[in-house]
Structure 1
């Protein structure tokens, strides 16, 4: 599979949001209730634009289609990593994660950390992240379990 990774552009915003919503609805729905999914997929477009522009955000392209995206903040926080459901288990998330790890190393940050969903936790563990703790979070009135994880990259 030929995957190209490039910097996020504002013109990608609507496609990135649609990919996020599709990934949560189709992939994460195996581990979360419908009302949790409905709360999770709500997006404030302006806030997302600001959030993605204020971090290192990268998109993965396969055959001229957006296949995934990921963002890392300047303190090593892996904020988002999502794959289009049609590209799941094809190496997209792995390619993006490797790219984001290199970005963290270039920033001189020794550890990257994230809060992973139940669905994503096994992926991160397979890629060398260590579990810190399970936690309860609230999103738009819905309670979720997710996992704080970290990985030493330097």
Structure 2
């Protein structure tokens, strides 16, 4: 698949939040219960927060000719705070392209490593990309507890 990666803009907000909600609802439901999925996906409604991420963080989108098929963003220069791929474009290299771009950006910023909190669903992907698990954790979000993993990779 031929995708291009570019900086996200405020105009991308509807596609980004829709992709976020749909990916969680369709892909992460394998590892999280219905209540967790509903609460997590509701983060798509926080448009001010998304606009802040787009304007303040290193935030990129992957797109084919007609639509955004994935996005990722870095916080603090080295912390991968989000990486999501459209439910219809899983396992087609989109996440790998986004991750390579993020790792390159972290190196340009001269940080020695990249870190992230990753879901149970995403853990195998990160392990295949040579990320080490620092610890398994339980995070509270909107009154619910989510199990995920802190991972890192030395660059």
Q: Distance in 1 between matches of 2:39 and 2:104?
A: 32
Unaligned runs of 5+ in 2: none
* 4+ aligned runs moved over 2 Å, structure 1: none
Unaligned runs of 5+ in 1: none
Specify the SS of the correspondent of 1:41: helix
Specify the SS of the correspondent of 1:108: coil
Task: Tell me which residue corresponds to 2:69.
Answer: 67
Q: Distance in 2 between matches of 1:51 and 1:105?
A: 20
Residue 116 (structure 1) shift: 0.2
Task: Tell me which residue corresponds to 2:12.
Answer: 12
Task: Tell me which residue corresponds to 1:41.
Answer: 41
Q: Distance in 1 between matches of 2:41 and 2:54?
A: 16
Please tell me whether the aligned partners of residues 20 and 82 of structure 1 are also in contact (alpha carbons under 8 angstroms).
yes
Task: Tell me which residue corresponds to 2:22.
Answer: 22
Specify the SS of the correspondent of 1:64: coil
- Say what the alpha-carbon RMSD is for the aligned residues: 0.8
Please tell me whether the aligned partners of residues 2 and 62 of structure 1 are also in contact (alpha carbons under 8 angstroms).
yes
Q: Distance in 2 between matches of 1:131 and 1:17?
A: 28
Q: Distance in 2 between matches of 1:27 and 1:9?
A: 25
Task: Tell me which residue corresponds to 2:3.
Answer: 3
Structure 1 length as normaliser, TM-score?
Answer: 0.97
Please tell me whether the aligned partners of residues 56 and 74 of structure 1 are also in contact (alpha carbons under 8 angstroms).
no
Specify the SS of the correspondent of 2:118: strand
Q: Distance in 1 between matches of 2:4 and 2:77?
A: 25
Q: Distance in 2 between matches of 1:107 and 1:152?
A: 14
Task: Tell me which residue corresponds to 1:120.
Answer: 122
Number of residue pairs matched?
153
Structure 2 length as normaliser, TM-score?
Answer: 0.96
Residue 120 (structure 1) shift: 0.3
Specify the SS of the correspondent of 1:2: coil
